[in-house]
């Protein structure tokens, strides 16, 4: 896409939708975690609206892997900004990942369970209680853990929408790869006791 001239009005036919998607990123370097998010904004919103990208702890969060910590994480959030902001979704995820060392040190941290619990109980259900029948959120989250021979770095994607687009690269595989993740048609709900929240989640190692 070419450069935009801020002095010229934007015509509706000029790929307006392409200019309004949320863009987020997460990264890790030797356990030093970082994240960011940038919102394209929404049409027909009141002047002065502040989306989740500008609110601390709503749209992105990161905490380093450090001595005494079991896992490092960084996340970037997209979706319905008002409800993401109200729930402080990114910060809630960070807090949930502050897992203390157990008596049995062989017990693994379960990121899948953590993400699902936070997404449903901190975002989906409270948003429904406020009258939003189908709250939208997409989570891009990276975890960093100690492994037997080398650190384990994984990317997690969880979303309540039909699709979520991501791209990724790593030092081992520096060529970027892009994916459009799609929730399976037959998969519409997670569990009967989760207020019928259509959460789809996947993960892959870097």
| Catalytically active residues, by annotation | 22
Separation of alpha carbons 59 and 76, rounded Å = 6
Separation of alpha carbons 118 and 95, rounded Å = 10
Distance linking the first and last C-alpha atoms of the chain: 29
- Whether 124 and 135 have beta carbons less than 8 Å apart is answered as yes
Distance of CA 181 to the CA centre of its chain: 13
Cα-based angle 94, 164, 27 (whole degrees, multiple of 5): 45
3-state secondary structure of 81: helix
């Amino acid at each position: 896409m070419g450069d935009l001239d801020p002095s010229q009005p934007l015509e509706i036919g000029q790929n307006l939708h392409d200019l309004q998607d949320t863009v987020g990123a997460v990264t890790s370097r030797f356990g030093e975690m970082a994240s960011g998010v940038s919102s394209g904004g929404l049409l027909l919103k009141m002047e002065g609206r502040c989306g989740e990208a500008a609110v601390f702890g709503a749209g992105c969060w990161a905490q380093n892997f450090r001595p005494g910590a079991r896992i490092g994480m960084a996340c970037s959030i997209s979706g319905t900004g008002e409800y993401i902001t109200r729930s402080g979704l990114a910060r809630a995820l960070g807090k949930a990942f502050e897992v203390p060392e157990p008596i049995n040190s062989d017990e693994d941290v379960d990121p899948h369970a953590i993400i699902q619990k936070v997404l449903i109980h901190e975002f989906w259900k409270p948003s429904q209680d406020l009258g939003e029948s189908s709250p939208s959120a997409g989570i891009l989250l990276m975890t960093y853990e100690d492994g037997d021979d080398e650190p384990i770095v994984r990317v997690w994607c969880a979303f309540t929408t039909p699709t979520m687009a991501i791209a990724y690269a790593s030092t081992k595989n520096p060529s970027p790869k892009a994916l459009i993740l799609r929730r399976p048609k037959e998969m519409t709900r997670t569990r009967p006791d989760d207020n019928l929240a259509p959460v789809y989640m996947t993960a892959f190692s870097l």
